[in-house]
Amino acid sequence: MCCGLGRGGKGWEGGGVEGGDTCGSQLAQTSQLSPFPKVTGDGVICTCGATSRTPVFVKTPTCRTGDMIRGLCHLREADDTSDALKLAAVREVREKPGSMYLTLVIVLFALLLFYRYLKENYKLFIKDGVDGPTPVYIFGNLGEFAGKDPLEKFTELTNRFGKGLTPSIVVSDPDLIQQILVKNFSKFNGRPRFLPFLHFEEKEILQNVCGSKWKNMREAMASAFNNTNIQKVFPRLLHVADQFVDELQRLVLKHPQGFDIQKLNECYALDSVAFTALGLETKAIAHGEECMMLQYVYAYDNSASPENAASGLARAYQCLEVLKIVDIKHKRLAKEYFDCLSHHMESERQKVNTSARPKSMLQHLLTYNPTSRDHATNPARSPLTTSEILGLTSSMVGGGVGSTASALDFTLHCLAVHPRHQEKLRQEVLNVCGVEGNFTIEQVREIDYLDQVINESLRFYPIAPGVARTCSEDCVVNGVQFRAGTEVRLMGITQYKDPEIFPDPLTFKPERFSKEEKSRHPGSWFPFGAGPRMCVGMHLAQLHLKVAIIKLLQNFEISTSDLTQDPLPVTLRPHLSPRNGVHIRLTRIAR
């Protein structure tokens, strides 16, 4: 076990998809308290002007940036002033030697207090017996992550400090993971802030809320994603998948030597999530990047991505949330996007009143009304407010689009570079679903090997390399001390490459997920999270992936192109995504 990484900078947790942040609860705790006692009053010499009585410039910690700049300007002015003024200043200082000394003593005392505070804080993990890299005051272990791939750094730290606990606190022990996510969920039910630049409406999304509000919203959302509702929206999914295949056909004619399929996958993910879950036709496949909703998804993901330096810093230092003002594009798009969702929600509300049965998850939410009996047994259950429904609607787009698109990217890449597995899968697909045309949801669920291929792709390229929770009360789990307020990161990625859990981990072997070989510790495989807060859209997501893959395999052979890179270079946006696109070549299967 180890501890003490500086928080922020590099990290991942997207649309509910969490990852191994470069984190450090030591730093987190440092930043929660005001670092300096406020030192003002007569005779205190500072750059703030307001409290200064003399032209002597000493930077005190109470100064804000603006004040500092102003102070520095004063200093420059002072340099240029006449000797007479300088003499006057010196005289004034000489006249008040007592106040000078007093100021110095106060400043030194404040510095001493601050140093002791830091020292105590940075001993926290040592006291609790949690081993880890030595943190630097203020910056934690942030420096160790500078210019490095955060996933590789986490793996290196796990190797250095063993499986168990690593920074802020990162857990990679299957038993402890299971305990935290499932059995001790009541003490670890919150999720750390992963979107530093939230705009007003985004605060109500499921990924961000906690406590009884989360419980009520989650129950409503879980009931909207039940099996019956998923079955009802299945024909819509087939419809979007047909558009996906039509567009592929066009791209194959235009680029017979291969093309980058990443953007089209994003469009498919948005159109399918929006049409099935919200009953909204976004038409991203038709309009591409001109689609406003797609632009919003990019901006939203970017605002949580470590690729975005401003938000990376704001994740590390909460006070830097002010940098949100530079996130202008995201702000503009968030407004347009929420206006569009509100408008759609109202029109769906009209349809609910006129049609007998809800047809999308959104319509289910609009009619969600826990009975008074439910309310008596569980007071957290209450009808949803309009802004909660809007928040849940947005959770589906924010949580579902980027992650589904990335999962499709990686699975198609794996099929392109492993033609033998692709052929085996195609044979199963054709046997069950036929060589062309539509199929039923039951047929989709029959294709076992499809599950295995998707799981193995998620193991190779985990969209969510880990998930995160916040500890709500001091507790000891499996002999390990957790303090209230600590952020706990549960790492999957280190286990997915562990030969003791997944033998021969660098080989793509879907069969390791077959029923015969499946038995493994539940805390060592959780691509959709685990416990009460796991991905609420998992079943729908799997269906989206499967339908696209089936349609594609019915129509095309997938192979590599000259630009294919294997393994695929990846990045965090904030979930794991291909960094330079997904270059494949498709060949139409002749019938």
CB nearer ligand HEM, residue 163 or residue 218: 218
Q: Does 393 bind ligand HEM (CB under 6 A)?
A: no
- C-alpha 110: how far from chain center: 38
From residue 264, alpha-carbon distances to 199, 201, 404, 486, 523 in Å are 28, 28, 12, 40, 34
Least gap, CB of 579 to ligand HEM (angstroms): 18
Single out the residue of 109, 41, 174, 98 nearest to residue 466, CA to CA: 174
Span near ligand HEM by CB under 6 A; candidates 281-289, 475-483, 505-513, 533-541:
533-541
Q: Which of residues 277-296 bind ligand HEM (CB under 6 A)?
A: 277
- Beta strand residue intervals within 167-260, DSSP E: 170-171, 259-260
> Which of 165, 230, 291, 407 is close enough to bind ligand HEM by CB under 6 A?
407
Residues making up the binding site for heme: 535
DSSP string, 116-160: HHHHHHTTHHHHTT---PPPBTTTBTHHHHTTS-HHHHHHHHHHH
Residues in contact with ligand HEM, counted by CB under 6 A, come to a total of 29
Amino acid identity of residue 363, one-letter, is: Q
- x/- map, 187-216, ligand HEM, by CB under 6 A: -------------------xx---------
Nearest position to ligand HEM, beta carbon: 529
> Which of 535, 552, 576, 584 is close enough to bind ligand HEM by CB under 6 A?
535
CB nearer ligand HEM, residue 60 or residue 172: 172
CB nearer ligand HEM, residue 165 or residue 464: 464
Residues making up the binding site: 535
CB nearer ligand HEM, residue 392 or residue 425: 392
CA distance 330 to 324: 9
CB nearer ligand HEM, residue 365 or residue 530: 530
CA distance 74 to 71: 5
Q: Which of residues 445-464 bind ligand HEM (CB under 6 A)?
A: 463-464
Q: Does 135 bind ligand HEM (CB under 6 A)?
A: no
Q: Is 570 helix (H, G, I), strand (E, B) or coil?
A: strand
Q: Does 224 bind ligand HEM (CB under 6 A)?
A: no
> Which of 447, 536, 543, 572 is close enough to bind ligand HEM by CB under 6 A?
536
- C-alpha 384: how far from chain center: 25
> Which of 55, 528, 574, 586 is close enough to bind ligand HEM by CB under 6 A?
528
> Which of 467, 477, 493, 576 is close enough to bind ligand HEM by CB under 6 A?
467
From residue 589, alpha-carbon distances to 10, 180, 393, 556 in Å are 43, 48, 39, 5
Least gap, CB of 468 to ligand HEM (angstroms): 7
> Which of 55, 465, 537, 578 is close enough to bind ligand HEM by CB under 6 A?
537
CB nearer ligand HEM, residue 144 or residue 348: 348
CA distance 92 to 501: 74
CB nearer ligand HEM, residue 523 or residue 527: 527
DSSP string, 241-286: HHHHHHHHHHHHHH-TT-EE-HHHHHHHHHHHHIIIII-----HHH
CA-based max dimension of the chain: 100
DSSP letter, residue 190: B
CB nearer ligand HEM, residue 18 or residue 260: 18
CB nearer ligand HEM, residue 150 or residue 529: 529
Q: Give the number of other Cβ atoms within 10 Å of residue 471's Cβ.
A: 22
Least gap, CB of 557 to ligand HEM (angstroms): 24
Q: Does 391 bind ligand HEM (CB under 6 A)?
A: no
Span near ligand HEM by CB under 6 A; candidates 54-62, 124-132, 291-299, 537-545:
537-545
Q: Does 524 bind ligand HEM (CB under 6 A)?
A: no
- Beta strand residue intervals within 286-443, DSSP E: none
Burial 398-437 (b: 16+ CB within 10 A, else e): bbbbbbbbbbbbbbbbbbbbbeebbebbbebbeebbeeee
Q: Does 234 bind ligand HEM (CB under 6 A)?
A: no
CB nearer ligand HEM, residue 232 or residue 329: 232
Pairing type for strands 480-482 and 170-171 reads unpaired
318-325: Cβ within 8 A, 24+ apart? 318/31, 318/32, 318/193, 318/196, 319/31, 320/196, 321/196, 321/197, 323/197, 324/196, 324/197
User: Is there a contact between 267 and 284 (Cβ–Cβ < 8 Å)?
Assistant: yes
Amino acid identity of residue 498, one-letter, is: D
* Contacts with ligand HEM, residue ranges (CB under 6 A): 16-18, 206-207, 218, 273, 277, 395-396, 399-400, 403-404, 407, 463-464, 467, 527-530, 533-537, 540-541
